[in-house]
Amino acid sequence: MAARLLYMAAITSAAAIARRDSPSDDLLASCPGYTASNVVETASGLTADLTLAGEACNVYGTDLKDLTLEVSYDTDTRLHVKIQDAANNVYQVPESVFPRPQGQGSEEAKSALKFDYINSPFSFTVSRSNSGEVLFDTSAASLVFESQYLRLRTKLPENPSLYGLGEHSDPFMLNTTDYIRTFWSQDSYGVPEGANLYGNHPVYYEHRETGTHGVFFLNSNGMDVMINNTAESGQYLEYNTLGGVLDFYFVSGPSPIEVAKQYAEITGLPAMMPYWGFGFHNCRYGYQDVFDVAEVVYNYSQASIPLETMWTDIDYMYRRRVFSLDPDRFPIHKMRELVDYLHAHNQHYVVMVDPAVAYQDFPAAFQRGVDDNIFLLRENGSVWRGVVWPGVTAFPDWFSANISQYWNNEFATFFSAEDGVDIDALWIDMNEPSNFPCNFPCDNPDASAEGYPPEPPPVRSPPRALPGFSCDFQPEGTDCAKTEVRSLEIRDSTPRAHFDNLVLSPRQTEGEQKGLPDRNLLFPKYAIHNKAANADSWNAAEGGISNKTVNTDLIHQNGLAMYDTHNLYGSMMSLASHEAMLQRRPTVRPMIITRSTFAGAGTKVGHWLGDNLSKWDHYRLAIRSMMAFASVYQVPMVGADVCGFGDNTTGQLCSRWAGLGAFAPFYRVHNSLDSISQELYRWETTTKAAQKFIGIRYQLLDYMYTAMHAQAVDGTPMVNPLFYLYPQDKNTYALDLQYFLGPALLVAPVTEENSTSVDIYLPDDIFYDWYTHEEVVGEGTATTVTDQEWTDLPLYLRGGVIVPVRAESAMTTTELRTKPFEILVPVGKDGKASGSLYLDDGVSIEQAGTSEIQFEYADGVLTVDGTFGYKAEELRISRITVLGAGGKSGCKRAAKKEITIEVDQPLTEAFTVEVAKA
């Protein structure tokens, strides 16, 4: 109640605001827009001054009178348009967080895009140079550029096909009427539809019959993107932001895959992940102790389910405090023995790290942070305190001068290979940042921290034998020598409130994009539709944008305001953690899985899709969210918590999800403290599904790794919505329950509870049933596949794309790499097929040698060529299988025409095989 009273006091002291809950409101009708002058045109772009064209309207802030326009033809397919304040004071996304793409000095005459403008009131269009088709037209409404509000609207064609604007749980093809997408990172348990979620990717792709284009808005401020169709305004898309500048990148495509690749040139190419990262992972929140974790590892092996990586949630920490171990339940000697066991069995280990550091004397991470001056501070120089799992916490300032030194040291110490927890990858969470128990204004965190952390589970001795594990994991009375351990005495005490070395000096400077002075950083007048607030309207005068997160009036050490940088916090943590992991193991690729992301995050990290629920809706959601991150946002290492995180799963749902998850880039089972156990050996059907689909996944692992490598090299998506591969087929535009993994494998799961059939759309092409190799001729219609038990999932190979697979599966990816290859050749309509295979050692940043192998099939001959720099004795092809051999059949389901030959061919040099004559 006290926190509630404080919240209400803050409300009454805030200024009253003018509310605008819908885009049809006319509060901005009197805004005059701007007039262009001093236009200087060159072959590669133009510059101009923009001056307020009349009396200021000052609706949500103060209208800026003088702006500048800069237009550059960066490449032949990319156009950059930026409108900012002439004084260069308005905040812009720092280059340290989002490095700007390098232009290639293209010219308007060569560009696929054309920029045109009207002087007064100023507006501009972007169109296709070859056809004149308008892609973006801001004459739909006057430009508004205020101190705490920007508005830009573009016309759209009727019934547009739009994708992106994430992170969200809404349909993959976006709604186009009365639809609002809000960008403001929040801790989003249950990933609800119609809400802002953990991350922010202000990019959309629009697909038309004439081609696809992309629009990226580089702005990290809170914003609403409104999409609507009204009688007065027609179809439009409108940006409404709380600040920043209008910084747009347009890419021309014209194919969806080309748009994705061009977007990757802006954000940066995705990080290549380690080969083992594509194995199967298991976790849960709520393992009682290290024995519980070890027993899960043992149970998976006994169930013959390949477990590549074991994960541990915050249970391992002492009272939920980062950089600590619970000495009774997860003591260091047992943790090291667990990791040694996993490594000895070619398995891996990962734990979670949260950004917020417990405001406690133990562990010393807090005091070291004070010594290094790396925490977010109040105006009086005291540490700003919030509340997360351990109770009262401090939050790192990722812009502080010593943050790298601090974070690297914490990782080097706690995750030391010599005497710490030697993790193989990293999981970072709560980095929106979440301050969930402490409602705004969070000025009594001690009261809000009541009940945090929760009481730990009972301490126990190992309850039963665990064969293969050390003596420390065996029950009392076992005839073996246990490790002698000295008990660790922990002094639970709270540090003082003020520290002499934490002194703030004025840091806001003119002309350096630090943010305009005199803004109300807690109570903006425009209310974005942030669902962390008690009501949408509370995001203005009631301070809702600070609710359950860090207060937005905090100033970073470099002078930037949390008001502007909130949406970058997760990506900043990702950057620091990537560096820290590299410091630990400088020669191998870090794998980091994060919750909060911003555009460009894929260059360093992957993403799990957050705290979903064990619901069929969320099983279906896993498909469209994965497609969005992998194919639109350039974050390909992505997947949902298999079987659901919250609530209780069922044997049916978990069996289906075990199959679906096997065909996502990131494949991990994970669930919550208060849910039933759902390790995949818990039910007979989940065991069967896991064995079956992990087996298929592992056979396909090199194919997936090759697709990941292609995305890391040039942005070609490793997950493809159907319209990416069939852009002329209108029936594919809205499909979000089936997809292609890589260029060849069509994944079409059963998506309804208690159903044993599924309607699958097959474009006009040739496909082959994965299991039977039967040829299936797509006719651009849906076909019903029946008799699909809980352990079945329809898979099809696309004709014309060669797929290298391992001839058999294995229990670990290390063992898998010793297996020979089978080359599957699904013949296309033209009787030909082609494909590729990328090989390297799977982990190294600098490779001693790589192989990039090309396969071509025509007229009964398979030709293998390319580069063969990766050398390993086990690299061999043992079998070649041609599907659809013998020409066209014309039947919807043709009789199987298959040729299989056994070979023993090293994959170390070019060769040809005459399949038909062999």
Distance, in Å, from the CA atom of 278 to the CA atom of 667, rounded to the nearest integer, reads: 7
Distance, in Å, from the CA atom of 476 to the CA atom of 414, rounded to the nearest integer, reads: 29
CA dihedral sign of residues 156, 159, 160, 165: positive
Contact 413, 420 (CB under 8 A): yes
Which of the following is catalytic: 429, 553, 765, 840?
429
Distance, in Å, from the CA atom of 721 to the CA atom of 714, rounded to the nearest integer, reads: 18
517 contact partners, CB below 8 Å, separation of at least 6: 89, 508
Which pair of tokens denotes residue 908?
Answer: 């170390």
Which strands make up the sheet holding 739-741, listed edge to edge?
Answer: 719-720, 739-741, 745-747, 795-798, 766-769, 775-777
626 contact partners, CB below 8 Å, separation of at least 6: 609, 638, 639, 640, 664, 665, 719, 739
CA dihedral sign of residues 405, 411, 414, 415: negative
Contact 915, 901 (CB under 8 A): yes
Which pair of tokens denotes residue 103?
Answer: 């232009």
Which strands make up the sheet holding 34-42, listed edge to edge?
Answer: 34-42, 45-52, 66-75, 78-85, 246-251, 211-217, 201-208, 161-166
Distance, in Å, from the CA atom of 171 to the CA atom of 507, rounded to the nearest integer, reads: 43
Alpha-carbon separation of residue 528 from 221, 240, 541, 545, 563 (angstroms)? 11, 8, 11, 8, 13
* The one-letter amino acid at 135: L
663 strand-pairing partners: none
Strand positions, DSSP E, 33-133: 34-42, 45-52, 66-75, 78-85, 113-118, 123-128
CA dihedral sign of residues 494, 499, 502, 505: positive
Q: 641 an active-site residue?
A: no
Which pair of tokens denotes residue 565?
Answer: 């940088």
Say how many CA atoms lie within 13 Å of 35 toward its Cβ: 8
Q: 684 an active-site residue?
A: no
What is the biggest distance separating any 2 CA atoms in the chain, rounded to whole angstroms? 89
State the DSSP H helix or E strand holding residue 709, giving kind and residue range, or none if neither: helix 701-714
Which pair of tokens denotes residue 371?
Answer: 């010594």
Nearest to 861 by CA among 784, 789, 787, 914: 914
* The one-letter amino acid at 612: N
DSSP character string of 455-487: PPPPP----S--TTS-GGGSPTT-SS-PPP-PP
298 contact partners, CB below 8 Å, separation of at least 6: 466, 467, 468, 469
SS3 713: helix
Provide the 10 A C-beta neighbour count for residue 194.
Answer: 14
CA dihedral sign of residues 92, 95, 99, 103: positive
SS3 450: coil
Distance, in Å, from the CA atom of 129 to the CA atom of 120, rounded to the nearest integer, reads: 24
Distance, in Å, from the CA atom of 559 to the CA atom of 565, rounded to the nearest integer, reads: 11
Q: 429 an active-site residue?
A: yes
Which of the following is catalytic: 313, 432, 702, 775?
432
SS3 617: helix
* The one-letter amino acid at 839: L
Which of the following is catalytic: 553, 564, 611, 736?
611
Active site residues: 429, 432, 611
